[in-house]
Amino acid sequence: MIFKSQLILKDACAWPNLFLLSGDLIGAVIFNRPSHGLEEGSLELWSCPKDAPDWQYLSTPAPGPPGQNRMHSACGVGHDGTVNILSTGFSIADGKFVRLESLWLSQSMDGGKTWQIQRDVAIEGIEDSCVPHGLVASDAKGNLFATVYRGYGKGQPSYTWLIQSGDGEHSWSVHSRIGDGDTNEAWLAFAESLKMAAVRTHIDHHTRFFTCSSEGSRWQDQGPLTLPMQHTGHLLSLGDEKLLLTYGIRNKGLMAIGCRFSENLGATWQAPFVLHQFPEEATDCGYPSTIHLEGNIMLSGYYTNCSDDHDDYQFGVLRWDLGDFLSPRQLLSISDGKKMSL
């Protein structure tokens, strides 16, 4: 059994976005202030070798201007090695949100050490400012894909779009809309013939699974993956049609990180399990993102406002063995004396 938790950075709300900077180096983009965006702050990039738990600050890809912050991110590395980070943030005054600021694209050609920033990025097909989340993916042709969302207030619709760029990342347009107006943050994953997304709902904040053919633009809602207040989901493709979903659990009495596993590209899912539970004093947690290290070994980043190591906002990681939750013994459940149908 392998399970280790590690506190990386204190006093950061974080919302960590983990991705591979290179074959042996992990990157994590985090918001560096202990607040849900009501303080000035920036997006920082931290890094760690895959084979050593030695996390270090690397750079600031999206520095918050005075009176503003950069707090939302979608991240990924293109086929040419360029690190791409889409970001937004808020103007703030007197501890209140003033407005959502424009979309930025930060790019690094040297593994995240230095950055070129394109500000005021427009998306053809979306008139309002919108929020990026999750993955910036690239295909073999050099096209980039990401998801963005925009809510219009309590009781109003919230929309999620897949956006694309195919001209050297200088212009973006809507590829397709995901869902019918009750969607929020999304995380993409890809198979040879399928686009997939784990999407947070706007009304009761559960996570749903959407799919779309690789060449298509019509997304199909395949149903819920979690209960209400269990979000935001990170979707990781492990190859051979295997998918891993990690997500935050914010139900009263259980503040935790949850997981589900599929062996057939999400057609069916095994029963959920709790990967890690935070102390009862925790009132905020989640937003996991997960990297596959080797074999069954995973690394999941998270944030919480209370752990055994620190009693305020923090960025931490869990190193764990997926096999510990998928052994034949673990998959047997005793309820009415019969084997549970998974």
Question: What does each C-alpha distance from 46 to 37, 139, 307, 312 come to in angstroms?
Answer: 19, 25, 20, 20
Place of tokens 């690094």: 108
pLDDT tier for residue 336 given thresholds of 50, 70 and 90: very low
Question: What does each C-alpha distance from 85 to 113, 154, 156, 303 come to in angstroms?
Answer: 13, 29, 29, 20
Q: Is the pLDDT of residue 317 over 50?
A: yes
Give the tens place of pLDDT for each residue, 212-234.
999 899 999 999 999 999 999 99
Return d(Cα 112, Cα 73) in angstroms, integer.
15
Which pLDDT score, from 0 to 100, does residue 95 have? 87
Place of tokens 């939750």: 325
**Which backbone phi and psi does 254 adopt, to 5 degrees?**
-150, 100
pTM summary value: 0.94
Is 202:158 a contact under the CB 8 Å cutoff?
Answer: yes
**What 8-state DSSP symbol labels residue 328?**
H
Return d(Cα 209, Cα 219) in angstroms, integer.
10
Other CB atoms within a 10 A radius of the CB of residue 184 amount to 22
Q: Is the pLDDT of residue 10 over 50?
A: yes
User: How far does the chain reach from its first CA to its final CA, in angstroms?
Assistant: 24
Which pLDDT score, from 0 to 100, does residue 23 have? 85
Give the tens place of pLDDT for each residue, 173-194.
999 999 999 999 999 999 988 9
Is 47:68 a contact under the CB 8 Å cutoff?
Answer: no
Strand ranges (E), 23-115: 25-31, 43-49, 56-62, 72-77, 83-88, 90-93, 96-100, 103-108
Return d(Cα 117, Cα 251) in angstroms, integer.
39
CATH of 3-331, one of 3.90.220.20, 3.40.50.300, 2.120.10.10, 3.30.460.80: 2.120.10.10
Q: Is the pLDDT of residue 166 over 90?
A: no
Is 120:129 a contact under the CB 8 Å cutoff?
Answer: no
Q: Is the pLDDT of residue 339 over 60?
A: no
Structure tokens that stand for 299 in this block: 């690394």
Give the tens place of pLDDT for each residue, 91-135.
999 989 999 999 999 999 999 999 999 999 999 999 889 999 999
Which pLDDT score, from 0 to 100, does residue 105 have? 96
* Secondary structure (DSSP) of 111-132: SSSS-EEEEEE-EET--S--EE
Question: What does each C-alpha distance from 123 to 105, 126, 147, 282 come to in angstroms?
Answer: 12, 6, 11, 38
* Secondary structure (DSSP) of 221-286: EEEESS-TTB---EEEEEETTEEEEEEEEEETTEEEEEEEEESSTTSS-PPPEEEEE--TT---EE
Find the mean pLDDT for residues 270-276.
94
Domain ranges of the chain: 3-331
Of 287, 261, 256, the closest CA to residue 272 belongs to 261
Give the tens place of pLDDT for each residue, 21-69.
988 999 999 999 999 999 999 999 999 999 888 999 999 999 999 999 9
